[in-house]
Amino acid sequence: MTMFLANLLLAMVWAALTGVFSLRNMATGFVIAYLVLYAASPVMKPTLYFQRLRRLPVFALYFAWLVIVANVKVARTVLSPGMKLQPGIIAVPLSVEKDSLVVLLANLVTLTPGTLSMEISRDRRTLYVHALDASDPDAVRRDIKITLEQKIQELLS
Amino acid sequence: MREILVVFLLTVGVAFSVVAAVGLLRFPDLYTRIHAAAKVGTMGLGSIVLAAAIHFNNLGVSIRAFLVIAFVFMTAPVAAHMISRVGYKVGARMSPKTVIDELRDEDQKL
């Protein structure tokens, strides 16, 4: 977090020095500041910041893609004349343990249409997900575990 | 070029907002309706705000647009989660089409 703030601060310094406060120039400054910090990392405290930040854009793009695909799917369900719905509540066992990761996962599950996180068991081991298409509960479980849970763990490991 | 992108994003945003509204009317029960409202709506709003950011192309607007999207994406799932959870606790009727309810078994255990 401190590294991120330092990076952001250096980006602002870059914008101030070049005198252009546009989003593009700030982004340029951010990339340059990232490289500068990365070059200086051998003399600083070890941090996971660099690896994480590198994985973030990939994950963001991947997630945006998931959201778009799933939204189109739901839109098709909504607009189809017969509306073949088979909704249901499915228990998904969790392997992430940290509370913050569980929250992140639950939010991502809700944002990918077709699934909605409803409830979590008291021991925080099971997430109850409401799915629009629950005809194959195991497929829904597999989907969440492979497309989201594994990616989150990779992102934050 | 930029205009094309803006028009495209606005069209997508409006289309998804309409789909969200139609879904709200057509879906059979509380839980499926939240699906439509919380997510397709989020996507519609996201594209419209993004279109605004690209159209105005200045730092103030871009940052505000980014914050709007970030906050909506953080809070919409929480609201959806709370509404569906409370709905379930107070026994909101589930659509007869519902094929599976693994939470009911858990409720009896608690």
Query: How many beta-carbon pairs under 8 angstroms link A with B?
Result: 130
Contact B84 A106 (CB under 8 A): no
Mean pLDDT of B27-31: 85
Domain that holds residue B23: 2-109
> What count of other Cβ atoms lies within 10 Å of the Cβ of residue B36?
24
Could you tell me the CATH number of the domain that includes residue B48? Answer: 1.10.287
Q: Which of A80, A70, A81 is nearest to A131 (CA)?
A: A70
Res B108: pLDDT: 53
Tell me what the pLDDT averaged over chain B comes to.
84
Q: Which residues of A touch B71 (CB under 8 A)?
A: none
Q: pLDDT confidence of B9, banded at 50, 70, 90?
A: very high
Nearest CA in chain A to B97: A86
Contact B19 A85 (CB under 8 A): no
Give me the half-sphere count of Cα atoms (radius 13 Å) on the Cβ side of residue A76. 8
Residues of B in Cβ contact (< 8 Å) with A106: 77, 81
Strands, E assignment, chain A: 88-93, 115-120, 126-131
Q: Above 80 in pLDDT, residue B14?
A: yes
Report the share of chain B in percent with pLDDT over 90.
15
Whole-number pLDDT of residue A154:
77
Residues 6+ apart with CB under 8 A from A1: none
pLDDT of residue A76: 84
Alpha-carbon span A113 to B85, nearest angstrom: 17
More confident residue, B23 or A157: B23
Q: Distance between CA B23 and CA A151 in Å, rounded?
A: 30
Q: What topology does CATH give the domain A49-156?
A: Alpha-Beta Plaits (3.30.70)
Task: Looking at the complex, report in whole angstroms how far the Cα of residue A82 sits from the nearest Cα belonging to chain B.
Answer: 11
Q: How many domains does chain B have?
A: 1
Q: Is the ipTM of this complex over 0.90?
A: no
**Domain map (residue ranges) of chain A:** 2-43, 49-156
Q: What is the mean pLDDT of residues B36-63?
A: 85
Per-block average pLDDT, block size 10, for chain A (157 residues)? 84 88 84 88 79 81 84 83 80 81 84 81 82 82 82 75
Query: Cβ–Cβ contacts within 10 Å for residue A27, how many?
Result: 12
